[in-house]
Copies of this chain bind each other. A is one copy, B any other.
């Protein structure tokens, strides 16, 4: 996790302002946390980071995340563990790729997608959005080639 810079808070505030809706401490704080994260965060992880500042209710965090997603400031990824993960949606288009670690569950966004374009759908189906999921092992979980494996990390 990168240190939270002043820039993240400012960027968060600006982005929330731009929507035209109310700029609340909670919205700015959650977006700031997402902007500072190098990977997608669960509600749980966001809550922990948020509890360093003034009180914020779990339900509020859920509602803020929903709001950020609806306003295109965050996006929401279904994991293999029934838990949503979120990250700031800076410049994420309709076509998108994610890496899921099959061991620790870490999820990161992948920038480039050489996406399958000419994909055949059944008669009458219409495509709106493509998402490519790569499942595998992250650098921390990948077994070492001949050295003994490092201690497992869990987020």
Contact = CB atoms under 8 A, between A and B. Distances in A.
Contacts of A142: 124-126
Given A132-B132, A133-B133, A97 B119 contact: yes
A138 B125 CA distance: 5
Interface of A: 78-80, 82, 97, 99, 102, 108, 110, 112-139, 142
Contact of A122 (B82, B117, B125, B139): B139
In order of increasing CB-CB distance, the 6 nearest A-B pairs are: A124-B139, A127-B136, A129-B135, A114-B116, A128-B136, A131-B133
B136 A116 contact: no
A115 B112 contact: no
B112 A120 contact: yes
27 contacts: A78-B78, A97-B116, A99-B121, A99-B127, A102-B128, A110-B119, A110-B120, A110-B121, A113-B116, A113-B119, A116-B116, A119-B132, A121-B134, A121-B136, A124-B139, A125-B137, A125-B138, A125-B139, A126-B136, A126-B142, A127-B134, A127-B135, A128-B136, A129-B135, A129-B136, A130-B133, A131-B132
Given A80-B78, A113-B116, A115-B116, A134 B129 contact: yes
Contacts of A132: 115-116, 119, 130-133
A139 B3 CA distance: 47
A128 to B, nearest CB: 4
A135 B124 contact: no
